[in-house]
Structure 1
Amino acid sequence: MPSLSVLLPMMPTRHEQILSFAALVQWTSAHRLWQGQALALDPHHGFVFAAAAGFRVPMGSGVSLMPLRHPHEAAVHARSVAVASGHPFVAGIGPGGIDFQRSIIGAPYAGQLTAVREYVTAMRGLLDGEEVNLDGDHFTVHDLLPPLPTPPVEIGLGVLRPGMARLAGEVADVAITWLTPASYLRDVIVPALREGAERAGRPLPRLVAMVPMFVADPDRDPTRLVLQSNAGHLMLPHYVDMLTRAGIEIDPQQPVETVKRVIAGGAFLTGAPEELGRQIGEFHAAGVDEVVINLTGVAGAYGPQAALVELETILGQATP
């Protein structure tokens, strides 16, 4: 059954800021609370804080960047959230951009897919209670986590292009996308996921799409909201390449025209609440198991409270 979830639409500077969104998930039809990589407070700490405050809801990271955390620490953090929340946790990971890798670990991974495969292999073994002995090209792990009763931890991969999608099909439990049109998911990502899963002889991973959107209003400037949400992504080569493959031309020198193309191409949704509900349905029809409502543009432009109200409106129209 397709589900609808919520992305924490800002990087909190106090753990208390997560509570109203965790409460929204607990008290509405929303399935899971997600948070992307944060620069101020660690998302895993916020999830545990919310659980300790009484909001024990399903949670997921979408995605944590590999250069910041060794696979051993990633496994411990993920397991900690699962224990605190009492629900399966989705530990989404991704390598980040080339420049980010260089700034954190000194040089890009020589093989992006190889690095991700090693990272997942180490995490999965540790989470499954196995003794891991890995001397990879990018990661070294010789360790065993102590036994701990815990809900399952699912490993997710941030997926934008066919190569990573095929790898996710081989090794991941969940594929997580961001700013990807429904048509691109249907025609490119889902077939690649299936190819990888069939090659590995395993079930197709669940597909989770983080979908940026906002409710249209004559007083709202689409350019401001789209750029508030994704200006950085629209400058990163791997996102530009993905959107180009999806038929959306990105020109940083023409932000207004670029925003029009991003909206027209279905990478960023807008419309009346009922229209957003219809567009979300297109993602489910394309093979997406879980659509995550991303209102980072609304929160950035009008504040978290406005985003919270808008989330309730969209959930009311778009619940499968």
Structure 2
Amino acid sequence: MNNPAFSLSAYAPYSTPDVASMAWWVAMSSTLKLDRIWFGQQTFAPVVAGVGYASGRGHRAAVGTAVTVMPTTTPFATAQELRATSRLTGKKTCGYLSPGYPEIQRRMTGSQWASPLTATREFVAAVRSLLAGADTDIRGEYFHTAHQATGVDDSESCEIGLGVLRPGMARLAGEIADGFITWLSGAEYFSQVLCAEANAAADAAGRSRPRAVATLHAAPEVPDADVPDIVRGAIGPHLSAPHYRDMLERSGIPLHEIPTDVDLRNVADRGLFCTGDHQEIIDRANALAFAGADEVSIVLHQRPGQGLTELFDDWAALAAAHDPVLQRNELAS
């Protein structure tokens, strides 16, 4: 299969335990000339801390955060971290946001948001204004942000996007975001639902279509007997979550509330989790690119007993399969 034009990036699986671990991912992405390294919601330290640690050791790579769950932060803190990350790396930083699920909203704000889409509009508007260095006075239903103009415009160095699972958020991304990213989606649903809804909303709003980023979960060369256990360990909690199950049912992948081995094999067979060799993983990424992804971010899950050296080797093989000439030249220099 010929490679369509798409950016290949890495997604660090889940929260990293410390800044040195984050820096390892930045260094790996920089060494292999990947287009970006994405980090999810962090528990132990902010992404900018790991990026700063890596930069101090001479490693710089384009960085994305996906998704930052809005109830855990504020527009001011988000804008501040995006600005700092961009300046540390010297590259455009992507900050992709999500209202999260109702339980997080209740735990962090005291109540479930009646309209997550409204909350997202308010949050994005405030972050954009702050990054532009403008006078900011957003008095919304969910977020109140007032700040005097700094006169320092960092809006061109930061990309604001949304995490998208279903049509409503895809339409909102088309109306207000620079891009969108999805965590679990096959090529057909990505193309026919998410891209279609986002692009139609952007066209109706008279604005540029948002950049589309697809994630692909993978673990190379997993024996067939081990596939259910690998998939369960990697994405089992997501497959049990109501909002993910709803999305997957919309795309024709029904699941039991507690996914069975048959469910987990079906997830792999339908392209949501690739357990083949490195070329098969890139072929799956190609399929997402043909479906409309401008960037495919691979979430490469470590197999039992696999260390960082083996993980780096897997990433080097993926990078070479994506762009063999580039990688031969870079790694030989």
- Normalised by the length of structure 2, the TM-score is 0.90
Query: Which of 122, 128, 133 is the aligned partner of 2:132?
Result: 128
User: What is the CA distance between 1:108 and its match in structure 2?
Assistant: 1.4
Query: Which of 31, 37, 41 is the aligned partner of 1:33?
Result: 37
Structure 2 partner of 1:279? 284
Give yes or no for contact 2:14–2:41 (8 Å, CA) kept in 1.
no
**Pairing 1:188-267 to 2, within 5 Å after superposition:** 188-218=193-223, 221-267=226-272
1: distance between equivalents of 2:159 and 2:210? 10
Pair 1:13-2:17 in alignment: yes
Percent of residue pairs identical: 33
Structure 1 partner of 2:331? none
Give yes or no for contact 1:131–1:144 (8 Å, CA) kept in 2.
yes
User: What is the CA distance between 1:145 and its match in structure 2?
Assistant: 5.0
The one-letter amino acid paired with 2:249 is T
Structure 2 partner of 1:159? 164
The one-letter amino acid paired with 1:32 is R
1: distance between equivalents of 2:138 and 2:245? 34
2: distance between equivalents of 1:185 and 1:102? 30
Where in structure 1 are there 5+ consecutive unaligned residues?
A: none
1:217-249 CA-to-partner distances (Å, cap 9, x unmatched) read 338711222122112211211111111111111
- The SS at the match of 2:200 is helix
- The SS at the match of 2:222 is coil
The alignment's C-alpha RMSD in Å is 1.9
Distance 1:306 1:145, change over 3 A: farther
Structure 1 partner of 2:327? none
Give yes or no for contact 1:5–1:32 (8 Å, CA) kept in 2.
yes
Distance 1:39 1:284, change over 3 A: same
2: distance between equivalents of 1:37 and 1:14? 13
The one-letter amino acid paired with 2:228 is T
Query: Which of 300, 307, 312 is the aligned partner of 2:311?
Result: 307
2: distance between equivalents of 1:19 and 1:11? 13
User: What is the CA distance between 1:254 and its match in structure 2?
Assistant: 4.0
Q: Which moved more, 1:195-204 or 1:308-317?
A: 308-317
Would you say how many aligned residue pairs link Structure 1 and Structure 2? 319
Q: Which moved more, 1:71-80 or 1:228-237?
A: 228-237
1: distance between equivalents of 2:198 and 2:128? 19
- The SS at the match of 2:95 is strand
1: distance between equivalents of 2:23 and 2:79? 24
2: distance between equivalents of 1:219 and 1:246? 24
- Normalised by the length of structure 1, the TM-score is 0.94
User: What is the CA distance between 1:141 and its match in structure 2?
Assistant: 1.0
1:241-260 CA-to-partner distances (Å, cap 9, x unmatched) read 11111111111334211111
User: What is the CA distance between 1:20 and its match in structure 2?
Assistant: 3.0
User: What is the CA distance between 1:307 and its match in structure 2?
Assistant: 2.7
Distance 1:101 1:242, change over 3 A: same
- The SS at the match of 1:4 is strand
2: distance between equivalents of 1:245 and 1:274? 29
User: What is the CA distance between 1:148 and its match in structure 2?
Assistant: 3.8
1: distance between equivalents of 2:295 and 2:241? 25
- The SS at the match of 2:173 is helix
Give yes or no for contact 2:27–2:60 (8 Å, CA) kept in 1.
no
Where in structure 2 are there 5+ consecutive unaligned residues?
A: 325-333
Structure 1 partner of 2:68? 64
Q: Which moved more, 1:133-142 or 1:147-156?
A: 147-156
- The SS at the match of 2:219 is strand
1:263-283 CA-to-partner distances (Å, cap 9, x unmatched) read 122211221222222111101
